Structure 1
Amino acid sequence: MKLYYFSVAGVLLSMGLSATELPDRQAQLPSVPKDANAQYLTPSALSTIPKGEFGDKVTKGYQLFVNSQQMRNQYVGNELNCVNCHMNAGNKANASPLWAAYMAYPAYRKKNDKVNSYQERIQGCFTYSMNGKAPESGSDVLVALSAYSYWLAMSGLMNQFNLTGDVPVLSDAELLKGGNRPEFPLPEVISAKLDQKALTMLPGRGFPKLDKPEKPYSIERGNSIYLAHCQACHGQDGQGVKMAKVSALPPLWGPQSYNWGAGMHRVNTAANFIYENMPLGKSIQLSVQDAWDVAAYINAQERPQDPRFKGKIEQTKAGFHQHDGYYGKKPQNVLLGEKAYPNFPEASQ
């Protein structure tokens, strides 16, 4: 993996380009068929987070994760919280849990054509899913979110192998890297049973891969499904529900939702997530066809611009959107992306 990264970097330098200037092939989030017999990690209860400096970082990471709006206008540019997609405070299997993601990085990503550390993966979430601004490398925010992710992963592994005691403390620099590296410190009883590859593919990672629909997905059918199953939480207009001027249930499109660069704007990614996790509290209620249709309806609505947009819809579409999505297309006789909302807007008062 590292050899490949450096060979790419060498090519870039010879071309006078940086990795951030490369076209994004926009690879979808990892998804594999769900295994009914899978054994998922069970991290320790939050009440067991230790006292002291390390525990304070873990607790802060949890707080930022479930209430990301406290970072609004600093790093967050919409009304979403991280927990809206990574459910049960990032702990739910098959909802892209943090414990599995942490053990999968560093990893090569087509998103920016380089090996990403865990902190770089989080920075991408702020830029795209949160329609905001990436926190600075090494910042307290990234350290805290990494510490929380690490604590979930390591406590879950320790519980699986019946190990007692506190989760080993890592330095900030080590926390930010992620767990997918040969030098990552693991208790011997765990490393003897799970090799590095197995740790990167923990059961429950990502969103389970959904079967293809029997019929081509339909925005029109998706509208009917949305009204029947989704509007109670997300509103008929898709703008979510606010309580005391605070977003309690997230907007799914429009100026306060994820932007055209977020992975969730892909119809297949959204379908995978919806089928497994929605409606909230009673998931796996929709048919496979319904999940694809409603994902198409949600993602055929305008949202904030792709942050990589440089003035031409067709150029952005060609470079970054060769997949199951509607950016730069006219699914309802309206060119999506042409009237996209701003990136990283200030919160409305």
Structure 2
Amino acid sequence: MNRIITSELRALVLSCSLAMLTTGMAQAVDLGDAAPSFSPPDAHSIPNNDFGKMVLKGQAIFLNTPQNASQFVGNQLNCVSCHMDAGRRENASPLWAAYVLYPAYRSKNGHVNTLAERLQGCFRYSMNGKMPPPDDQTIVALESYMYWLAQGAPTGVKLKGQGFKRLAEPAQKPDYVRGEQVYAQNCALCHGADGAGQHVGERMVFPALWGDGSYNWGAGMHSIPTAAAFIKANMPLGKGNSLTDQQAWDVAYYMNAHERPQDPRFNGSVEETQKKYHDAKSDLYGQTINGVMLGAHSTPSGGRLRAKAQ
């Protein structure tokens, strides 16, 4: 059952919203520690009508993405690989918290994005595929699923558990060797010593963390701060918050210090692509790790999509 927002909080949200309007600002209200909590509807309460059928279609795409949206997916990851518990879990970029924040400006592409465009980007980068048309049934179904999960949530407000809870800078600089040790002890059992994940038949049950079966260099998870935040809150599976912050930073570094499919924005030059899209101090694209310049030997973005076209 959704929690009721106090009248004081509603007043605060309203005053923030009015302040934004009067100053011409168009951004979400961030209430920090006062951010309201939200609980999505029960998983078994999807309505038995035509809208409910579209919600179920979106849920199926979300849970088994290559099987239900194969024409747009270039790897074997599922949306739920990062947005855990069917997109319901706090601090795992829950869908209900994302839905209420769009349209929104994104520095990644330098303009206001609709929700449809944000979903298109997920297919292009995280799924290493191609963007569905904005009116394609794949996008409509995913938007419907997100809308259903967000029923009753306040719009334009950053809710508690939104996105990934960022970690403070580590006491020690993230380290490959320490990260390798954390990975061997806590991650390799599920994701494999080679980071290739594990399958049951054609379905990937534990996602690939690097290599051709994983997200490409343009995906948000290639960012070490983003990966560290996700790992700290959610990994190892079922034991979230059991790693120290330093361990989360170290294993995120190790994970992203491996080659993966090329950034779709690659212009033929690793150096120029790095300068334009990967200039953050924590970004490993274009850096030389263990004698290998990351990005210089990436397979072209598109994965199976590109293989089919040849």
Same fold (TM over 0.5): yes
1:1-349 pair list within 5 angstroms: 35=33, 40-71=37-68, 73-155=70-152, 157=153, 196=155, 199-323=156-280, 324-346=282-304
- With a CA cutoff of 8 Å and minimum separation of 6, indicate the structure with the bigger relative contact order: 1
Cα deviation for residue 220 of structure 1 reads: 1.0
CA RMSD of aligned residues (A): 2.4
Q: TM-score, normalised by structure 1?
A: 0.77
C-alpha separation in 1, matches of 2:181 and 2:24: 47
Structure 1: 4+ residue segments shifted above 3 A: 1-5, 32-35
Cα deviation for residue 244 of structure 1 reads: 1.9
In the alignment, structure 1 segments of 5+ residues that lack a partner are: 6-29, 158-193
Q: Is the 8 A contact 1:66 1:82 kept in 2?
A: yes
Q: Is the 8 A contact 1:103 1:153 kept in 2?
A: yes
SS in 1 for 2:289: coil
Cα deviation for residue 73 of structure 1 reads: 4.2
C-alpha separation in 2, matches of 1:221 and 1:34: 33
C-alpha separation in 2, matches of 1:269 and 1:81: 18
Cα deviation for residue 144 of structure 1 reads: 0.4
Q: Deviations over 1:214-266 (max 9, x none)?
A: 11110111001000000011000000011124211100000010000001001
SS in 2 for 1:315: helix
SS in 1 for 2:199: strand
Cα deviation for residue 34 of structure 1 reads: 8.5
Q: Is the 8 A contact 1:34 1:208 kept in 2?
A: no
Q: Is the 8 A contact 1:86 1:95 kept in 2?
A: yes
Q: Is the 8 A contact 1:223 1:297 kept in 2?
A: yes
Compared with structure 1, are the counterparts of its residues 137 and 216 closer, same or farther at alpha carbon in structure 2 (3 Å cutoff)? same
C-alpha separation in 1, matches of 2:263 and 2:59: 28
Q: Is the 8 A contact 1:34 1:209 kept in 2?
A: no
Q: Is the 8 A contact 2:35 2:159 kept in 1?
A: no
Cα deviation for residue 200 of structure 1 reads: 2.9
Q: Is the 8 A contact 1:33 1:208 kept in 2?
A: no
C-alpha separation in 1, matches of 2:261 and 2:233: 26
Q: Is the 8 A contact 2:62 2:78 kept in 1?
A: yes
Cα deviation for residue 279 of structure 1 reads: 0.5
Q: Is the 8 A contact 2:31 2:158 kept in 1?
A: no
C-alpha separation in 2, matches of 1:76 and 1:33: 36
Cα deviation for residue 342 of structure 1 reads: 2.3
SS in 2 for 1:121: helix
C-alpha separation in 2, matches of 1:235 and 1:83: 19
Q: TM-score, normalised by structure 2?
A: 0.86
**Aligned residues between the structures:** 283
C-alpha separation in 1, matches of 2:266 and 2:24: 28
C-alpha separation in 2, matches of 1:315 and 1:274: 30
Q: Kindly provide the amino acid, as one letter, of the partner of residue 257 in structure 1.
A: S
Cα deviation for residue 39 of structure 1 reads: 5.2
User: Who is 1:15 aligned against?
Assistant: none
SS in 1 for 2:205: strand
C-alpha separation in 2, matches of 1:203 and 1:95: 11
Q: Kindly provide the amino acid, as one letter, of the partner of residue 246 in structure 2.
A: Q
Cα deviation for residue 38 of structure 1 reads: 6.3
SS in 1 for 2:265: coil
SS in 2 for 1:47: coil
Q: Is the 8 A contact 1:33 1:210 kept in 2?
A: no
Q: Kindly provide the amino acid, as one letter, of the partner of residue 319 in structure 1.
A: K
